């Protein structure tokens, strides 16, 4: 929905399913209720997540026209999509497979092209559209620095195929769309420093001459096209887990002129270990579940950091006094700032939204809380009510 600070929506990766019929059924069940609660007298936005199978099915003109008619009937619109999870995202072991297939593969490239082809037909006139995606690959799949460098080079070339597609779509339709790359702990690009370094040292040197040759662009025109079409997905949970300050991230992007495609409004678990450490570590054990990766970054008293690829490794390695704070990748509900002895990184969301209020740096705001099903039972509510509560909290924080 349109608000003074951009367009606000939620990401439908909260809903299970890999087939289009499954996706559509959950949208039909929940969206009219959410819209009635949040925006009864205005259009309401959807952040659409399509699994690969669903994207192939929705590419059928008949199914796409049916979906477009349903959106119109219920006064709904789509301006952003989540193209990070390719396959199953619920009721299965996801872990590092969330990166599969990665950006070194044709499968990831073709899937993303398909999402943009769909979005180009759904996107309202006068709006830019975005698809968020993975941070190239998963770091631990590459055994040597040489392997990692080759993977990054291959991924960069495939991402330029997407930039090429988006330049063509803009020329043919006038619609501006962008790929929003989402740094994540243990991704090949796991924070804003690595993202900016890759953009400056790999993407621009690869992409500028490619576009100069293909479109007879000047070097400046080629650079501006890349800056328009390849952007950062600012996931607040991931920024917080990396112990990055939101203002520092934006300043770092400005050094190259990189734009933010969207803010994914999300919250991590924070554990203050300066007191009652053993009790807090025990409480954190209730969040140890087998579906998603829950990377941990531990801040030591001397200001250095230790990283763990998942929560079980961190719990096994814990020693009293070794760290003063842990941050855990979990995407917990936004509106909760404490969980008994544990805290959330809600403060980082408020910092980010305060900057957005004062000097908007994107038009796209998307709530991305998706771990309801693996949270402790006393925190769970019906999905529709949960989404409404999240959106209401964001509006309150912005106002």
Return the pLDDT at 88: 57
In this prediction the pTM is 0.96
Task: State how far the alpha carbon of 200 is from the alpha carbons of 57, 203, 206, 262, in Å.
Answer: 37, 6, 10, 20
Return the pLDDT at 92: 58
Residues with Cβ within 8 Å of residue 76, at least 6 apart in sequence: 31, 35, 43, 44, 45, 46, 70
Return the pLDDT at 299: 98
In whole angstroms, what is the distance from residue 304 CA to residue 300 CA?
A: 5
Whole-angstrom distance between the N-terminal and C-terminal Cα of the chain? 15
Return the pLDDT at 90: 44
In whole angstroms, what is the distance from residue 185 CA to residue 188 CA?
A: 9
* Burial (Cβ within 10 Å: 0-12, 13-18, ≥19) of residue 275: exposed
Q: Which CATH superfamily hosts domain 2-266+345-398? A: Divalent-metal-dependent TIM barrel enzymes (3.20.20.150)
Those residues of the chain that have pLDDT short of 70 are 88-95, 370-376, 378-379
Segments making up each domain of the chain, as ranges: 2-266+345-398
CB burial readout 146-180, b (16+ within 10 A) else e: eebeebbebbbbbbbebbbbbbebbeeeebebbbb
Q: Which two tokens stand for residue 247?
A: 């203002």
Q: Which of 195, 304, 211 is nearest to 258 (CA)?
A: 195
Degrees (nearest 5) of the Cα angle 295, 300, 304? Answer: 85
Return the pLDDT at 15: 79
């Amino acid at each position: 929905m349109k608000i003074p600070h951009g367009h606000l929506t939620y990401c439908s990766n909260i809903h299970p399913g890999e087939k289009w019929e499954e996706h559509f059924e959950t949208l039909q069940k929940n969206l009219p209720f959410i819209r009635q609660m949040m925006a009864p007298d205005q259009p309401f936005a959807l952040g659409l997540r399509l699994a690969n199978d669903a994207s192939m099915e929705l590419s059928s003109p008949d199914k796409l026209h049916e979906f477009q008619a349903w959106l119109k009937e219920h006064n709904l619109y789509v301006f952003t999509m989540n193209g990070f999870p390719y396959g199953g995202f619920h009721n299965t072991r996801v872990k590092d497979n969330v990166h599969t297939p990665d950006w070194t593969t044709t499968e990831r490239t073709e899937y993303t092209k398909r999402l943009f082809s769909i979005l180009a037909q759904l996107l309202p006139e006068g709006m830019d559209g975005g698809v968020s995606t993975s941070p190239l690959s998963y770091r631990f799949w590459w055994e040597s620095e040489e392997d990692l460098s080759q993977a990054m080079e291959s991924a960069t070339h495939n991402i330029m195929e997407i930039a090429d597609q988006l330049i063509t779509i803009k020329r043919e339709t006038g619609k501006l769309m962008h790929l929003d790359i989402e740094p994540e702990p243990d991704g090949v690009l796991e924070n804003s420093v690595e993202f900016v370094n890759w953009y400056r040292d790999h993407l621009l040197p690869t992409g500028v001459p490619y576009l100069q040759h293909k479109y007879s662009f000047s070097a400046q025109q080629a650079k501006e096209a890349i800056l328009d079409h390849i952007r950062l997905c600012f996931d607040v949970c991931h920024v917080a887990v990396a112990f990055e300050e939101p203002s520092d991230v934006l300043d770092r992007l400005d050094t190259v002129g990189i734009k933010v495609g969207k803010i994914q409004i999300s919250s991590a678990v924070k554990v203050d270990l300066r007191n009652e450490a053993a009790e807090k570590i025990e409480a954190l054990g209730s969040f140890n579940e087998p579906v998603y990766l829950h990377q941990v970054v531990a801040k030591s008293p001397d200001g250095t950091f230790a990283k763990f690829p998942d929560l079980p490794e961190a719990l096994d390695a814990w020693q009293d006094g070794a760290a003063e704070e842990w941050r855990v990748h979990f995407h917990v509900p936004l509106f909760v700032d404490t969980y008994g002895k544990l805290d959330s990184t809600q403060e980082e969301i408020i910092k980010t939204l305060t900057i957005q209020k004062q000097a908007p740096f994107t038009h796209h705001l998307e709530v991305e809380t998706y771990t309801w099903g693996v949270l402790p039972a006393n925190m769970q509510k019906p999905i529709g009510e949960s989404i409404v509560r999240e959106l209401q909290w964001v509006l309150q924080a912005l106002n």
